């Protein structure tokens, strides 16, 4: 084993630490510069207006807004499955009741205008005794503080109708009978 004089080891160690620290500082400056140049979506403005169900509206710019669509599919056993597709959105059930953060939160399920439950993800099962043929299903996107995300004063929602029991195909309100996706990117409550 070759012994190095203590002074050489100390100088080499100091140079290495200095290089690492300078590299870290440069990385932090780079990260700070990136954070300053990348746009951050707004948590919107909580306004006095309310949606049709009494929740305050949180208005965001259409360019930053989340979108939602819903499909209703027959369950293999009985009842119905809702598949909720979203863009620019993160389901955050663990943040329920906290302050609003841009493009995250939970949903509310309404059947014929009556709030049934919260929605915490992309899929939801509806038992056959909960809904009937022709029932209107509406999903709203809600912030962590339960306000409803909105664009231009209209709540961001997705809607569909429960199809007739003898219809085993998925259902929607589109003009294309083969399509099973009902898109609500218009941000309209439909009544």
Do 83 and 30 share a structural domain? no
The model's confidence at residue 14, banded by pLDDT at 50, 70 and 90, is very low
Nearest in space to 159 (alpha carbons), one of 121, 110, 114, 115: 110
Do 111 and 23 share a structural domain? no
Is 162 inside any structural domain? yes
Do 31 and 54 share a structural domain? no
Put simply, whether the predicted model's pTM sits higher than 0.75 gets the answer no
Do 34 and 107 share a structural domain? no
* Contacts of 156 by beta carbon, 8 Å cutoff, 6+ apart: 65, 66, 67, 68, 140, 141, 148, 149, 150, 184, 187
Nearest in space to 138 (alpha carbons), one of 128, 129, 153, 148: 148
Do 121 and 106 share a structural domain? yes
Q: What is the CATH number of the domain that holds 71?
A: 2.60.40
- CA torsion 111→115→118→123, rounded to 10°? 0
pLDDT for res 139: 98
**From CA 9, how far away is CA 6, in angstroms rounded?**
5
Is 178 inside any structural domain? yes
Whether pLDDT at 176 is above 60: no
Is 99 inside any structural domain? yes
Q: How many helices (H) and strands (E) does the chain have?
A: 1, 13
Tokens of 178: 């083969």
Do 104 and 18 share a structural domain? no
Cβ neighbours, 10 Å, residue 8:
9
pLDDT for res 178: 38
The model's confidence at residue 49, banded by pLDDT at 50, 70 and 90, is confident
**Tell me: the pLDDT tens digits for 120-167?**
999 999 999 999 999 999 999 999 999 999 999 999 999 999 998 764
**Cβ proximity of 110 and 53 under 8 Å:** yes
**Tell me: the pLDDT tens digits for 24-45?**
444 445 444 444 444 556 899 9
Is 77 inside any structural domain? yes
Range of the domain at 80: 45-183
**Tell me: the pLDDT tens digits for 55-110?**
999 999 999 999 999 999 999 999 999 999 999 999 999 999 999 999 999 999 99
177 compared with 93, residue with greater pLDDT? 93
Give me the mean pLDDT over the 156-181 stretch.
Answer: 63
Do 122 and 54 share a structural domain? yes
Is 188 inside any structural domain? no
Whether pLDDT at 118 is above 80: yes
Do 11 and 94 share a structural domain? no
Is 189 inside any structural domain? no
Do 27 and 94 share a structural domain? no
User: How many independent structural domains does the chain possess?
Assistant: 2
Is 19 inside any structural domain? yes
Is 88 inside any structural domain? yes
Do 97 and 9 share a structural domain? no
Do 85 and 5 share a structural domain? no
Do 90 and 144 share a structural domain? yes
**From CA 79, how far away is CA 91, in angstroms rounded?**
24
């Amino acid at each position: 084993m070759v012994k190095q004089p203590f002074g050489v080891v100390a100088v080499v160690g100091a140079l290495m630490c200095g290089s690492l620290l300078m590299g870290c500082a440069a990385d932090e400056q780079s990260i700070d510069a990136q954070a300053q140049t990348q746009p951050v979506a707004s948590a919107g403005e909580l306004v006095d207006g309310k949606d049709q169900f009494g929740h305050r509206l949180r208005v965001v710019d259409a360019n930053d807004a989340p979108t939602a669509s819903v499909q209703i599919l027959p369950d293999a056993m009985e009842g119905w499955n809702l598949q909720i597709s979203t863009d620019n959105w993160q389901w955050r059930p663990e943040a329920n009741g906290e302050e609003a953060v841009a493009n995250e939160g939970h949903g509310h399920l309404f059947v014929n205008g009556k709030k049934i439950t919260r929605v915490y993800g992309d899929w939801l099962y509806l038992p056959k005794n909960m809904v009937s043929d022709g029932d209107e299903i509406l999903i709203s996107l809600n912030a962590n503080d339960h306000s409803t995300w909105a664009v231009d004063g209209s709540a961001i929602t997705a809607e569909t109708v429960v199809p007739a029991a003898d219809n085993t195909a998925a259902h929607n309100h589109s003009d294309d009978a083969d399509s099973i996706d009902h898109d609500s990117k218009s941000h309209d409550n439909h009544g």
